[in-house]
Amino acid sequence: MTTHYIDITLRPDPEFSHAHLLGALVAKLHRALVHLQADDIGVSFPQHVSAPLPRRTLGPLLRLHGQPAVLEALMALEWLQGMRDHVRLTNLTPAPEEAQHRIVQRRQFKTSAERLRRRRMQRKGETAQQAAAAIPDSVEQRPQLPYVQLRSQSTGQPFCLFIEHGPLLTAAQKGPFNAFGLSREASIPWF
């Protein structure tokens, strides 16, 4: 259960876009969570906007959720090295006891028929024509969720990490968080 939080707010920067800084912040957090093998630290983006483009954004605030000991262990790693000038941190603070809860999860979409075809050609040894016949352009989805642009550590390919803030809940839900601090089961306090 997540009882405490730390807010990390991106400062405006004339040299780097908000999207670039958020991508760097989430990538650094991901590497730190992998290093810790943590499944008990959650994240949320309390200032997210899920409106259609161009207003769709995760906002400048990333909130870390967890127990005091695990959040202190994360911050002891100095994972924010190189970002300190670009962020403002709050101290470790207890979450409001009367806060509602919310599940914050990753959503994946089939956004590129061409990528799916290339993957099918590699997996099944098909020609481009066979893959095109099996995967029509109509499979592509246009998600309306906010996202952060990242680069895969294993392949080097860019990808969008789509984030969905679920409906408000009256009680906390237990479960593990993934290496991005997201979960299909565990909730975080929402305030």
CA dihedral 42, 44, 50, 56 (to 10 degrees): -110
Tokens for 60, please give them.
């400048």
Distance of CA 117 to the CA centre of its chain: 26
Of the candidates 4, 18, 30, 48, the residue annotated as catalytic is 30
Judge whether 173 and 101 are in contact, CB under 8 Å. Answer: yes
**Packed helices 18-36 and 68-76: angle between N→C axes, nearest 10 degrees:** 110
- Which of 167, 188, 146, 153 minimizes the C-alpha distance to 41? 188
Tokens for 49, please give them.
């906007």
Judge whether 106 and 162 are in contact, CB under 8 Å. Answer: yes
Establish whether 86 is a catalytic residue: no
Judge whether 42 and 2 are in contact, CB under 8 Å. Answer: yes
Residues annotated as part of the active site = 30
